[in-house]
Amino acid sequence: MTKFRKRPVVIDAERWYPGAGIDGVEEKSRIETRTLGDPDDCVAVIKTLEGSMVVESGDWIITGSKGEKYPCKPDIFALTYEIAQ
């Protein structure tokens, strides 16, 4: 088996919290918020290339190299990304 290293790619990302806006008009059309009973229990649903995915409070929304959006849990984000210099 041949080993491969993921190429370094600089991405844009923002942390999502209920009540927070999402930058960009185009992205807003692919992201909607839903309240799950309790008004404080709010999630976002983002339409990704792989289908709709739930974004919970504190998750990161990443913009991919082709402008696509997708969510990432904070622990995975911390293991995968660092601030670009």
Neighbours of 55 (CB within 10 A): 21
Judge whether 6 lies within some domain. Answer: no
pLDDT at 73: 96
- The model's pLDDT over 1-41, given as tens digits with 9 standing for 90+, comes to 998 887 788 889 988 887 665 554 344 445 666 655 665 66
Helix ranges (H only) for the chain are 25-28, 74-80
Domain membership of residue 67 (yes or no) is: yes
Q: Report yes or no on 65 lying in a domain.
A: yes
Q: What's the total number of domains in the chain?
A: 1
Residue 2 inside a domain? The answer is no
Inter-CA distances, 83 with 15, 17, 42, 67, 80, Å: 14, 20, 28, 19, 11
Residue 30 in domain: yes
pLDDT score for 29: 46
Max distance between CA atoms of the chain, in angstroms, equals 51
- Whether 51 maps to a domain, the answer reads yes
Residue 70 structural domain:
12-80
Q: How confident is the model at residue 47 (pLDDT cuts 50, 70, 90)?
A: confident
Give the per-residue pLDDT at 64. 82
Confidence of residue 66 (pLDDT cuts 50, 70, 90): confident
Residue 85 domain-assigned (yes or no): no
